[in-house]
Amino acid sequence: MNRAQVAAMQKAGNIDGLIEALHDPEDYIRGAAADALGGFADRRVAEALETVKFCDPALRVKRAASYAHARVVERIRTREEQS
């Protein structure tokens, strides 16, 4: 997988593909997938990012997942408040 594929999945709203990319052997792909997932308000995304932010072996991926997780949780909270 490469960054262009991650960007294409983000543009297409392919949450499942981006979550799968969190398991890519390359840390730069996992980090890019985490960043891309930060734009979605989906509980599956929040759960996946929470796992990555604590369990990924690469610090930069953990950071990306942590920031993305915070954005996702805020988006979910905002959506629920508006309902």
- How confident is the model over 27-79, as pLDDT tens digits? 999 999 999 999 999 999 999 999 999 999 999 999 999 999 999 999 999 99
pLDDT tens-digit series, residues 62-76: 999 999 999 999 999
pTM of the model: 0.95
Residue 12 predicted with pLDDT over 90: yes
Q: Are 30 and 22 in contact (CB under 8 A)?
A: yes
* C-beta separation of 39 from 71 below 8 A: yes
Look-up of token digits 């985490």: 34
Return the CATH number at 16. Answer: 1.25.10.10
| Domain ranges, residue 7 | 3-82
Domain count along the chain: 1
**Distance between CA atoms of residues 59 and 53, nearest Å:** 9
Using alpha carbons, select from 18, 82, 79 the residue that is nearest to residue 48.
18
Q: Which two tokens stand for residue 43?
A: 């509980």
pLDDT surpassing 90 at residue 15? yes
